[in-house]
Amino acid sequence: MTIKKALHLNSDEFSGLVAQKDARSQRIELVDGLLHELPPSYLLHAFVAASIGIALGAQANGQRGRVLNTYHYQLSPQDIRLCAVGYLPVDAVSRVIVPSVVAPPPLLAVDVASPEMSPRWLLDKVRAFLKAGTKQVWVLYPVDKVIDIARLDSNGALSLITLDSSAHLDGGGLISGFSLPVSKVFPK
Amino acid sequence: MTIEAQTRLYTQDDLRDLEARPENADKFFELIEGVIVEVAGTSAKPTTIAARISFYLNAHVLPLNLGWITSADGRFELGSIDNLIPDTAFVSRARQPQLPDGSFTIAPDLAVEVVSPSDNLRAVQRKAKRYLILGSTVVWVVYPDDQAVEVYRLLPDGNVSLQEVEVTGTLELPDLLPGFSLPVSKVFPK
């Protein structure tokens, strides 16, 4: 469960917090202008995020794309959210001002579900990315060893497909040639 | 809660055996895709919300004799590996002309689940999708703390569609109960 601080910030103030050197400042988000502290990232979560990040990075770098690990993305003036892995076109990355600690919305966002996250929190976060222009969000469930692929359909509804360990992830039209067995994302 | 490390899919007989144990006399269990899950005890807010939804559904369904509204002990025994207890549900008379003596053996047209903050998103989604795969047209997942409802439907390609209805919105069921309209704000106690 996230901890909502009774603290209203604008995006510059939030970026200032993220830029601080302590690890705690790296696990925060700005949601509707309110500061939220996220649960810690457990070893299992870090492992599955790295599995995806490495595989995406290997494929994306040849396609004028860049993969960022655990980074903040500005989704609106009041929303800066963290995700475990983001895929952006090279030109979007190059537009990021060097000292910035916040990137524009990724084309693809990957996040890892944590037991402390309430169901609505995660759904809201997925929607926030998609409404900001992200084409797909992949939500990894390490305990169940499944991945939800989320998109917005033409009516604005969230469309979800669940991939189990017998399925393959593909780039969803964003990263051509990408293919990764779901079973390889999660440890045996 | 999963009962034990599982090496096979549990069946309706396993569920009955478990429920017959004296130590489980006060407990409820569901069977979801072959997995037995203990139903968590309900607290005041979710049960009140479920009762409100049930009331508004009945207010539309009963005068028109359109079917059956179940409460939180209404069971749906669906095939050999699913036995579900929605918080409230609607079964149309068109699909179920007479009330069965025991459990319903068809999926409800509408299933309603009221979520608690401790629930796991994956479990909520798995159950909602299970209703749809087993024949439900719509599932409402109600979030008391957020005062919002997620409307789940199955798309033709097998994907699940989620439409969020916030507290300012209205729940409607044009394909199941034409004319039914429930402002979401009426669902949540002030």
Cα separation, B27 vs A140, in Å, equals 32
- What is the mean predicted confidence (pLDDT) over B131-158? 94
A10-47 tens-digit pLDDT: 888 888 877 776 655 678 899 999 998 888 778 888 88
Contact (CB<8Å) B162/A158: yes
Average pLDDT, chain A: 86
Cα separation, B147 vs B167, in Å, equals 6
pLDDT band at A187 (very low <50, low <70, confident <90, very high): confident
Residue A31 lies inside a defined structural domain of this protein: no
Strands A168-170 and A65-76 come out as: unpaired
Name residues 94-153 of chain A within 8 A of B (Cβ).
113, 115, 117-120, 122-124, 127, 141, 143-144, 146, 148, 153
Residue A142 lies inside a defined structural domain of this protein: yes
Query: What pLDDT shows up at residue A4?
Result: 55
Distance from CA of B143 to the nearest CA of A (A): 7
pLDDT band at B3 (very low <50, low <70, confident <90, very high): very low
Inform me whether the pLDDT recorded for A8 exceeds 90: no
Inform me whether the pLDDT recorded for A176 exceeds 90: no
Q: Which fold has domain B41-75+83-186?
A: tt1808, chain A (3.90.1570)
**Chain B residues near residue A161 by CB distance under 8 angstroms:** 158-160
For tokens 């396609």, name the residue.
A63
Residue A36 lies inside a defined structural domain of this protein: no
The answer for residues whose C-beta is within 8 angstroms of residue B69's C-beta and 6 or more apart is B54, B57, B58, B61, B62, B88, B89, B90
Query: What pLDDT shows up at residue A99?
Result: 61
Residue A58 lies inside a defined structural domain of this protein: yes
**Chain B residue with the nearest C-alpha to that of A114:** B120
Range of the domain at A115: 41-184
Inform me whether the pLDDT recorded for B118 exceeds 80: no
- H helix runs in B2-76, sequence order: 12-20, 44-64
**A105: burial class by Cβ within 10 Å (0-12, 13-18, 19+)?**
buried
Name residues 126-145 of chain B within 8 A of A (Cβ).
129, 141, 143, 145
Cα separation, B143 vs B146, in Å, equals 6
Domains identified in chain A, total number: 1
Query: What pLDDT shows up at residue B34?
Result: 93
- What is the mean predicted confidence (pLDDT) over A133-161? 92
The answer for residues whose C-beta is within 8 angstroms of residue B2's C-beta and 6 or more apart is B35, B36, B37
Question: What's the Cα-to-Cα distance from B33 to each of B89, B115, B160, rounded to whole Å?
Answer: 19, 20, 17
| % of residues, chain B, pLDDT over 90 | 76
Query: What pLDDT shows up at residue A9?
Result: 82
Query: In the A/B pair of chains, how many CB contacts fall below 8 A?
Result: 61
User: Domain with A140 in it: what CATH number?
Assistant: 3.90.1570.10
SS3 state of residue B62: helix
Lowest mean pLDDT among A158-162, B114-118, B166-170: B114-118
Query: What pLDDT shows up at residue A39?
Result: 80
Query: What pLDDT shows up at residue B158?
Result: 86
Inform me whether the pLDDT recorded for B83 exceeds 60: yes
Inform me whether the pLDDT recorded for B177 exceeds 50: yes
Inform me whether the pLDDT recorded for B1 exceeds 60: no
More confident residue, A90 or B20: B20
pTM over 0.90: no
pLDDT band at B85 (very low <50, low <70, confident <90, very high): very high
Residue A27 lies inside a defined structural domain of this protein: no
Residue A18 lies inside a defined structural domain of this protein: no
Average pLDDT, chain B: 92
- What is the mean predicted confidence (pLDDT) over B46-74? 95
Q: Which of B116, B120, B121 to mutate to test the interface with A (most CBs of A within 10 A)?
A: B121
Residue A19 lies inside a defined structural domain of this protein: no
- What is the mean predicted confidence (pLDDT) over B68-95? 95
